[in-house]
C-alpha cells in the first residue's frame, strides 16, 4: 500500500499558487509526479514550482487565467510539449462568492463565477481528456475540486452552490463516458478548509465555521491533497464517478441534541 504508481505521471494542477491547489501540487511533487502548476499569480505560482524543484521534484509554472478557455487549452498543450504526455488534470481553480440572498446578486456576478467555477472546469476536463487519450496514458485521471456546497446547498450561496452542483454533475457524467477507457473522474468536496477563499474573515467567523462542523474544527489543505494523491494512484483505479466529501461530517446530516449515557468512556 504505497504511492509508487504515481511516480513519473504528468499532472496539471490549476489554482496551484495557494490553498488546496498548492497543497496538491506539493504532495504530487513529493511523490515523484511531474507537476504543471497553473495560476493567475506568476509570483506565487513560480514560488510553488521552485519549491517543488528545490526538494528534488519536477515542476514548471504556466501563468493561466482559468476563466479563459483558450488559456486552458494553451496550458494543456504546454504540459504535453514540456513532458511529452499528460496523465491527469486537477481542476482546482475557483472563487467563492458573498453571502447574499439570490435576488441581490447581479447578472455579472453570475457570469464571473460561472466562467471560472463551471466553464473553466469543463475546459480542463475537455482538453485534458483529449490529451490523456492522445498520450495513451495507462492511468489517466481527472479530479475536480468541487465543494461540500456541491452536495449540500448553503443559504446565501445560490450562485456558488449552482456552480459546485454543476461540477459534481459533470464529474459523474464524464465518469460514465470514460470508465470503459480507463480514465477515472472524481470530485473532491472540501468543507470548511483554512484557505484564502475565506479572505479577511475575522477570527470569530472562523470559530463559527469550526463550531458548525461536527468534527469541531476546520480542515487543512493537505487533507484534500492526500486524497488527490490517492485518486491519482493505481490504488484508486476502480473509484470513478465519486463526489468525496472532506468535511468533518458536515454534509453527513444535520446536527441535533444527543445525550451520552456513559460519557466516562471519553475520560
Catalytic residues: 160
- Structure-block grid coordinates of residue 182: 480507463
- Structure-block grid coordinates of residue 204: 470569530
d(CA 256, CA 180): 43
Calculate the alpha carbon distances from 30 to 89, 128, 180 in Å.
Answer: 17, 23, 31
C-alpha atoms less than 13 angstroms from C-alpha of 73 in its C-beta half-sphere: 5
Calculate the alpha carbon distances from 195 to 51, 188, 191, 225 in Å.
Answer: 19, 15, 11, 13
d(CA 127, CA 70): 10
d(CA 45, CA 40): 8
Decide: helix, strand or coil at residue 61: strand
Residue closest to 63 by CA, chosen among 91, 37, 82, 29: 37
Number of CB atoms found within 10 A of residue 219's CB: 23
Residue closest to 90 by CA, chosen among 190, 202, 229: 229
Amino acid at each position: 500500500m504505497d504511492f509508487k504508481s504515481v511516480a513519473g505521471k504528468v499532472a496539471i494542477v490549476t489554482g496551484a499558487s495557494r490553498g488546496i491547489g498548492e497543497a496538491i501540487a506539493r504532495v504530487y511533487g513529493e511523490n515523484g509526479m511531474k507537476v504543471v502548476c497553473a495560476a493567475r499569480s506568476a509570483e506565487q505560482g513560480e514560488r510553488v514550482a521552485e519549491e517543488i524543484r528545490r526538494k528534488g521534484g519536477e515542476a514548471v509554472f504556466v501563468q493561466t487565467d482559468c476563466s479563459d478557455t483558450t488559456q486552458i487549452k494553451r496550458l494543456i498543450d504546454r504540459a504535453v510539449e514540456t513532458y511529452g504526455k499528460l496523465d491527469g488534470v486537477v481542476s482546482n481553480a475557483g472563487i467563492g462568492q458573498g453571502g447574499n440572498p439570490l435576488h441581490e446578486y447581479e447578472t455579472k456576478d453570475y457570469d464571473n463565477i460561472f466562467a471560472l467555477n463551471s466553464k473553466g472546469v469543463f475546459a480542463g476536463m475537455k482538453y485534458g481528456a483529449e490529451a490523456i487519450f492522445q498520450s495513451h496514458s495507462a492511468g489517466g485521471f481527472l479530479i475536480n475540486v468541487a465543494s461540500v456546497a456541491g452536495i449540500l446547498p448553503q443559504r446565501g450561496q445560490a450562485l456558488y452552490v449552482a456552480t459546485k452542483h454543476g461540477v459534481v454533475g459533470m464529474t459523474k457524467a464524464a465518469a460514465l463516458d470514460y470508465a470503459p477507457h480507463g480514465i477515472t473522474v472524481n470530485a473532491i468536496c472540501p468543507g470548511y478548509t483554512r484557505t484564502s477563499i475565506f479572505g479577511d474573515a475575522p477570527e470569530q467567523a472562523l470559530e463559527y465555521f469550526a463550531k458548525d462542523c461536527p468534527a469541531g474544527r476546520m480542515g487543512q489543505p493537505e487533507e484534500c491533497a492526500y486524497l488527490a494523491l490517492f485518486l491519482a494512484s493505481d490504488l484508486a483505479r476502480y473509484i470513478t464517478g465519486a463526489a468525496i466529501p472532506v468535511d468533518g461530517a458536515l454534509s453527513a446530516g444535520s446536527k441535533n441534541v444527543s445525550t451520552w449515557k456513559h460519557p466516562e468512556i471519553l475520560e
